[in-house]
Homo-oligomer: A and B are copies of this chain.
Amino acid sequence: MKKLPKPTEAELEILQVLWSRGPSSVREVNDILNKKREVGYTTTLKIMQIMADKGLAERDTSTRTHIYTPAVSEGDTQKQLLNRFLETTFKGSASKLVMQALGNHEASAEELEKIKALIKKIEGEQSK
């Protein structure tokens, strides 16, 4: 497994667009970003070019309008960032983080069910 570079904030924002939209042009990504905040077109272009350089995205340059595709999965990226965040902010204590997260943000009943199911599964494995 190769180690992926940690995406910056701006890169992560773009990755999220690519994850939800699939392969996209700079124009399309930039339009979406601009629904939330003002970003210059060339700014988005530049960052997407950097992402291609770093290997966070791949681009198809066969047509004039280049099409970018995410080269890292959403789940893997979340896992990577979570590990890092867990380490820096909670010194590795996942349960502390979970407690904080559940305490401050209400999850729906079904989400809580999923979490309970997961806990059960983990407990099952532990008792072996």
Q: A12-B89, A89-B81 are in contact. Are A123 and B94 (CB under 8 A)?
A: no
Total identical chains: 2
- Secondary structure dominating the interface of A: helix
- Whether A39 is near chain B, meaning CB under 8 Å from some CB there, is no
- Whether A72 is near chain B, meaning CB under 8 Å from some CB there, is no
- Whether A91 is near chain B, meaning CB under 8 Å from some CB there, is yes
Which of B78, B100, B111 meets A82, CB within 8 Å?
A: B100
CB pair A115–B89 under 8 Å, yes or no, is: no
CB pair A116–B116 under 8 Å, yes or no, is: yes
The 8 nearest A-B residue pairs measured at CB: A95-B111, A94-B105, A95-B107, A94-B101, A98-B98, A81-B89, A85-B85, A112-B119
